[in-house]
Amino acid sequence: MPSATLDPVIDRLARFTLAPMPVVSLYLDLSADQHGRQNHEAFLARAFADPGSTYAADSTFRESLARDEARIRTWLQEQLPSPAPSAVALFSCNGGEDLFEAIVLDTPLAGHLLYVDEEPHLFPLARVAEQYATYAALVVNTNTARLFVCATGAVQRAETIENEKTQRVSVGGWSQARFQRHVDDLHLKHMKEVAAAVERVVREDGVRAIILGGDAQATALLRKQLHESVDALVIDVLRLDVGSPEQAILEATLERFRRKDEETDREVVDALLDAYRSRGLATVGVTGVRAALDRGQVDLLLVPAAPAAPAADHSSAEASDSVPVQQRSPPDESLVEALVTEARRTSAGVRFIEDGSLLEPASGVGAFLRYRV
């Protein structure tokens, strides 16, 4: 299923818990290797053999896993889009409440991953959803605008708004003044129509940010017509021509969107720590965050985008002046996975902090709260 936004499917998967049979979570990077070939077939053969060998030959769990593998292979052979997308995430479980989800991704993954557990593993998918969240790209001049809604690293839909094109003339006197007023009125009408379209996609598509492109005159005129709550979403204005190819617009705006997201990570973490120190609506450390999730208090969960590899000696101390920062072990992937999944189950937002060291004063994880108890 192509996905304009991953949130609905992530929330659906998060509600699938404690299955009586193994749940397979498979992430495949479908980009070509250095020889121009995909290598996921070899990975599948090895990956399914390892967990399958841990069950008895006549085990119902082993049979269930074999059916999951067959169903996944059938989907890859018969339903994988052509040309192949950048990546795909598949979830399967044969037992109790049946589960099968196939999510086509326009963004690459760091590699192949297979998890066999009692519930779906959502960390990689949730990270893609946050890193490539929905934003609007708008390239505009005084008579044409091209509006793109972008999510998961691709243009999900686009529209063009065109109005009467005016030409510069020189007639002098009152006629010139009347003509200029006419031109100004046409430009204003155009910008009002464009502003209405932008406000509509913000309302309907859950746009998190807006990136404008065009000359200074056109973008300044447009911003005067935007509602202040919508104008507040504008994170940058780029020098893009309205005739630029769609792919060029996507690449330029996506790069800026992701860079801006990383730049604001420090501000968000600082706000978290300030709120925690002042006994405000925030908590830090695994114990505090987990307790807040259990009570449904968490509004926004902050976790490292690249958690530590699982290790037996990894433990998370609570943030405290008595615990030196260098002694606070970062949370491992399985722990962060559990926090992210619980956040989705309780309708909490999740923000992945690219520079995990920013979260060290918070013992690796933190959360803004809806209320205190």
Do 34 and 104 belong to one domain? yes
Q: Do 153 and 43 sit in the same domain of this protein?
A: no
Residue that is last in its domain, among 244, 273, 292:
244
**Residue type present at position 126:** A
CA distances to 54, 105, 199, 229, 313 from 89, rounded to whole Å, are: 24, 8, 32, 35, 30
How far apart, in Å, do the first and last CA atoms of the chain sit?
Answer: 41
**pLDDT over 90, % of the chain:** 64
Q: What is the DSSP string of 24-88?
A: EEEEEE-S--TTS---HHHHHHHHHHHHHTTS-TT-HHHHHHHHHHHHHHHHHHHTS-SS--SEE
Residue 207 lies in a domain: yes
Whole-number pLDDT of residue 172: 54
Inform me whether the pLDDT recorded for 176 exceeds 80: no
* Least confident piece of the model among 143-152, 220-229, 318-327: 318-327
Task: Give the pair of three-digit tokens for residue 216.
Answer: 């200074």
Using 50, 70 and 90 to split pLDDT, how confident is the model at 93?
A: very high
> Pick from 212, 244, 276: which residue ends a domain?
244
Task: Give yes or no for residue 54 having a pLDDT over 50.
Answer: yes
Distances (CA, A) of 171 to 134, 142, 166, 175, 182: 47, 22, 15, 6, 14
Q: Among 21-30, 157-166, 272-281, which is the least confidently predicted range?
A: 157-166
Whats the size of the chain, residue-wise?
Answer: 373
Residue 120 lies in a domain: yes
Contact between 222 and 191 under an 8 Å Cβ cutoff? The reply is yes
- Give pLDDT tens digits for 288-305: 999 999 999 999 999 999
**From 2-6, 189-193, 198-202, the region with the lowest mean pLDDT:** 2-6
- Is the pLDDT at 159 greater than 50, yes or no? yes
What pairs with residue 101 in β-bridges? 91
Name the more confident of 126 and 2: 126
Q: What is the percent of the chain where pLDDT is above 70?
A: 86
Instruction: Tell me whether strands 135-140 and 209-213 are parallel, antiparallel or unpaired.
Output: parallel
pLDDT at 285: 96
Please report whether residue 253 resides in a domain.
no
CB of 131 within 8 A of CB of 152?
no
| 14 and 124 belong to one structural domain | yes
* Residue 148 placed within a domain: yes
Average pLDDT of every residue of the chain: 86
User: Which pLDDT belongs to residue 308?
Assistant: 67
When pLDDT is averaged across residues 262-266 and rounded to a whole number, the result is 93
- Please tell me the distance from the alpha carbon of residue 68 to that of residue 74, in angstroms, as a whole number: 10
Q: Any idea of the CA torsion for 55, 59, 63, 69, to the nearest 10 degrees?
A: -10
Same domain, yes or no: 122 and 14: yes
pLDDT of residue 271: 98
**The pLDDT of residue 316:** 36
The pair of three-digit structure tokens given for residue 325, joined into one six-digit string: 């920062």
Last residue of a domain, which of 244, 275, 293? 244
What per-residue confidence (pLDDT) applies to 11?
A: 92
- How confident is residue 319, by pLDDT bands cut at 50, 70 and 90? very low
Q: What is the mean pLDDT of residues 141-155?
A: 93
344 closest CA partner among 293, 310, 307: 293
Same domain flag for 147 and 127? no
Q: What is the DSSP string of 275-314?
A: HHHTT-SEEESHHHHHHHHHTT-EEEEEEESSPBPP-TT-
Determine, yes or no, domain membership for 39.
yes
Quote the tokens at residue 331: 């949370």
Contacts of 344 (CB under 8 A, 6+ apart): 10, 11, 14, 122, 126, 350
Report yes or no on 1 lying in a domain.
no
* Inside any domain, residue 258: no
Residue 359 sits in the same domain as residue 312: yes
Query: Strands, DSSP E only, in 241-365?
Result: 282-284, 298-304, 349-353
Residue 59 structure tokens: 């085990």
* Residue 68: band (very low, low, confident or very high) from pLDDT cuts 50, 70, 90: very high
Domain count for the chain, please give it. 3
**Which residue range(s) make up the domain with 198?**
135-244
Angle at alpha carbon of residue 50, lines to 46 and 54, rounded to 5°: 160
pLDDT category of residue 340 using cuts at 50, 70 and 90: very high
CATH assignment of the domain containing 95: 3.30.960.10
Rounded Cα–Cα distance for residues 158 and 137 (Å):
9
| CATH code of the domain in which 354 resides | 3.30.1330.30
* Least confident interval from 201-215, 295-309, 311-325: 311-325
**Token match 């169903």: residue?**
71
Q: Are residues 151 and 124 in the same domain?
A: no
pLDDT of residue 167: 58
252 located within any domain: no
Amino acid identity at 338 = A
pLDDT at 53 over 90: no
Give the integer Cα–Cα distance in Å for 12 and 101. 10
DSSP tag of 156: E
